[in-house]
Structure 1
């Protein structure tokens, strides 16, 4: 059985991906599945898109025709937990929810993933930001937003950190950050120094590997943008996880094994060029010392 406390949104997504991959492996079409369960093709499509869940008898029939009946207990447990409970961000004011509605799936996957890896080229990741640094980043990215709303988004980000970093079984985290992002003064030199100290402290924690891509690394394969790789729980036998890439308008999820492999290879090359994790706390504190107050 999967560990408890996982996001219903993530569970529903994982359920959908597993159902689709099992159908593909069985060599069946959606039409054939719909006929077997005496349902409709659109209904099967909704299940595979994560918009709905099959009824218990439909699930049993699907697993039977997929040749996966032995996994019935697992999928019924997954289905039941996807239907109950609520995600941690539910309850924030509607104005906040509207601003981050496109992030619902990412927040769910992140808060449930056993391993999070990323390349961060512009700013330290939101999962590691101090409140003051986060406020400065959000204020710059959302010009014109009332300060009251900005502070609600900061609160959301701090809650996100607690939900991921302080959960019962924290994820293994491996991030590569560009040195240029660390030297950029955000908010003020004092705010940036505090942020660098927080990164140094986090880098010393078990389960967190933080590397810095130095300025003298020259050309590298991370110039096309930042990305995050989210690993799925091992119980999901057919689902390798996904890569999340965020743009100004929306986020994109890449879940095909070939796509994930390309991103993972890119991250591996960045790791080779970056500092060793054990050296990062010292370098971060040295960068902080280099910053000068006006």
Structure 2
């Protein structure tokens, strides 16, 4: 006997599969591998992100993104499009999560090097760090700060994102100038980065200690 609810579910899924993805208008600006990653990110239940040098993309303000991208992107028009893409991605991850349609849990470890490295004018960094403090207060966000005093660790040169799913294997995205998404036969690589994350959580500061480190960095960007 045919289950009407199951039929409706399959029909809805088929219709959804034919709809263009939200990032389709930016297709000319992004690499195919990153477009594949965005598809995984859209469906993820959890996200863990670490970058040893700059602020993770999902946490960047528009001004910070523009200042960072302008260093390597020669066209102002392309920079503007990439900043717009990043902001839409951030809105979907954070704002949609407030009504149960986005990523339910987001975990970030932000390196002190990223907190103190000046990207753009001092006012850009102040705005970025103030937004950090606001993000840290969101109930579905776990934001930790990794101080210089933590020393060396296995992920020191390896920016990465781990995406978790309810009914599927985790996916690893290795960031960099040419990023790449893990394949289904790279379970050992994914497991290794879970170990990296576990160590990062152990040595990073959370709660009031993380906010105190952010405040210290904020003071260094106060204009005379």
Report the TM-score, using the length of structure 1 for normalisation. 0.66
Counterpart residue number, 1:200: 133
Aligned to 1:291: 221
| 1:8 paired residue number | none
Shift in Å at residue 250 of structure 1? 3.9
Deviation at 1:78, TM superposition (A): 8.5
For the residues of structure 2 that align with 1:161 and 1:226, how far apart are their CA atoms? 18
- In the alignment, is the contact (CA less than 8 A) between 2:112 and 2:147 conserved in 1? yes
Larger CA deviation: 164-173 vs 80-89? 80-89
List per-residue Cα deviations over 1:209-242 (Å, max 9, x = no partner).
Answer: 111110111111112311000012x2x2xx2121
Give deviations 1:131-164, integer Å, cap 9, x for gaps: 110001111132xx22122112111111111122
- Choose which of 80, 97, 109 in structure 1 pairs with 2:40: 109
Q: Which residue does the alignment assign to 1:213?
A: 146
Q: Over aligned residue pairs, what C-alpha RMSD do you find?
A: 2.3
Q: Which runs of 5+ in 2 are unaligned?
A: 1-5
Q: 1:84 aligns with which of 11, 18, 23?
A: 18
Number of the residue aligned with 2:82: 153
Which portions of structure 1, spanning 4 or more consecutive aligned residues, are displaced by more than 6 angstroms? Answer: 72-75
Check whether the contact 1:254–1:260 (CA below 8 A) recurs between aligned residues: no
Q: Tell me how many residue pairs correspond in the alignment.
A: 213
Is contact 2:29–2:81 with CA below 8 Å preserved after alignment?
no
**Counterpart residue number, 1:127:** 58
Higher relative contact order (CA 8 A, sep 6+): 2
Largest Rg, 1 or 2: 1
Contact 2:161 2:175 in 1 (8 A): no
Question: TM-score, normalization: structure 2?
Answer: 0.86
Contact 1:204–1:281 (Cα < 8 Å) also in 2: no
Cα deviation for residue 73 of structure 1 reads 7.3
Structure-to-structure mapping, 1:132-147, within 5 angstroms: 132-142=63-73, 145-147=74-76
Unpaired segments of 5 or more residues in structure 1? 1-71
CA contact (8 A) 2:48 2:106 kept: yes
